[in-house]
Amino acid sequence: MRILLGTQNIASVLGEMQNAFNKLGHETTLFVHERPANIVKKTVYDYVISEQIFFLFREKWFANKRGIIHTFFRKFSSTIRKVLIQRQSRKLLSKLIEDHDVFIFIWHSILYNYRDLAEIKKAGKKIVFIFCGDDVRWYWSMKKEFEDLGMVPVEYGSEYDYSKKGLRQRLRRIKAAEKFADIIYSKREQAQLQTRPFFHWPMFVDTIQNVGVISVQNEKPLILHAPTNYSGKGSEYIIESLKRIKKNGIAFKMKLIQNLDHEKAIEEYAKADIIIDQLFVPGGGRLTSEALLLGKVVATNMSYGLYDQGNLAQLPEVCPVFHIDKFNLDKQLTHLISNVSLRQRLSDQSIPYALKYLGVNEFAKKIIQNISLQSNPEYFP
């Protein structure tokens, strides 16, 4: 089959899926509206639409500037830029539909307004939509569900759009995908607005690269945290908790990783004994998966026994990830840091678990299988 992958390379997943599909004998095309930041794995794209528009708008002008005038011109140029990207994408749409059999989308489809989905379906082509987090997670719905279960809602901070506009954007994306996609991948923790059954999306990794070796846990562990989003990951609580634990005489070393490209970040992860992901969203993200593949002890919110994520691999008797949350964080981390035998057991299980459940190659095979055989979805909202 000829597969188009787009349009946001969240957590380097597009390049990894491309390699997996190519190994299965399929032809692939990578299509993105914008070239991702340097922290994403280096990937060769077939289409980067922002680099094909009128040259004056290829750059994001005033992106890091503050002030009333800079804000005005940033919004003005951003609006024009988005129109130009949409127009260029529209020019390519007929050819892309003709050249491909399957379209796999993350975040947006080819057009920002999702009107391409009807044309793709009319042409008899297959559509797969993958929801990956804040593209569909709406704060107030998540807050209601989490609090009803006695969990702490994700703390987004002031940068999050809590308005009706943010809700409309998510509903538009969800309803377009639920109307036209052949299959949908998502997770329960982000699916409060969804109504159609979906397949569970594991935060997969390339299990050919960056596989670690099972090593002996140090008595005085090196703890690593990568606070890409301080509020959303609960980094402030994690850092303050570790400071208090150290004052109480628990010995460990700590390192924060920020703004590194992917290769350098992996080098730092490989040096750690314990890697802490985040406090709020159950299941773990990209950092959890990469850390497990490296054979590290991973601490993140799993909410075992409280939040069924619709995936057998995330049951406590199977998954080696150590649960932490905002409640009793000092006690949880103290227990993990002090208990070397516990850490060693979790570390020993990490690589086998990642190889069995988190491989991108298996995920690619399942997509092809689910498209071809019309398998029953794994989760029903």
318: which DSSP letter? Answer: T
pTM as predicted:
0.92
Which domains, from first to last, does the chain contain? 2-204+360-373 (3.40.50), 222-357 (3.40.50.2000)
Q: Which residues contact 166 (CB under 8 A, 6 or more apart)?
A: 138, 139, 160
Name the DSSP class of 202.
Answer: -
Half-sphere exposure of 379 (CA within 13 A, CB side): 22
pLDDT at residue number 231: 74
What is the pLDDT, as a whole number, of residue 67? 63
Instruction: Give the pLDDT score at 68.
Output: 65
Report how far apart the first and last C-alpha atoms of the chain are (Å, whole number).
31
Among residues 212, 174, 179, which one has the least CA distance to residue 190?
174
- Sheet containing strand 183-186, edge to edge, reads 47-48, 27-32, 2-7, 102-106, 126-130, 183-186, 199-200
Of 66, 87, 98, 24, give the one whose Cα is nearest residue 366: 24
Going residue by residue through the chain, which has 381 residues, state the pLDDT in tens, using 9 for 90 and above.
999 999 999 888 999 999 999 999 999 999 999 988 766 677 899 999 999 887 767 777 666 666 666 565 667 778 888 899 999 999 999 999 999 999 999 999 999 999 999 999 999 999 999 999 999 999 999 999 999 999 999 999 888 899 999 999 999 999 999 999 999 999 999 999 999 999 999 899 999 888 888 889 999 999 999 887 767 889 999 999 999 999 999 999 999 998 888 889 999 999 999 999 999 999 988 999 999 999 999 999 999 999 987 777 788 889 999 999 999 999 999 999 999 999 999 999 999 999 999 999 999 999 999 998 877 888 888
CA distance 170 to 189: 15
Dist CA 333 CA 220 (whole Å): 14
Give the residue from 167, 181, 98, 102 showing the smallest Cα distance to 136. Answer: 167
Which pLDDT value is given to residue 381?
86
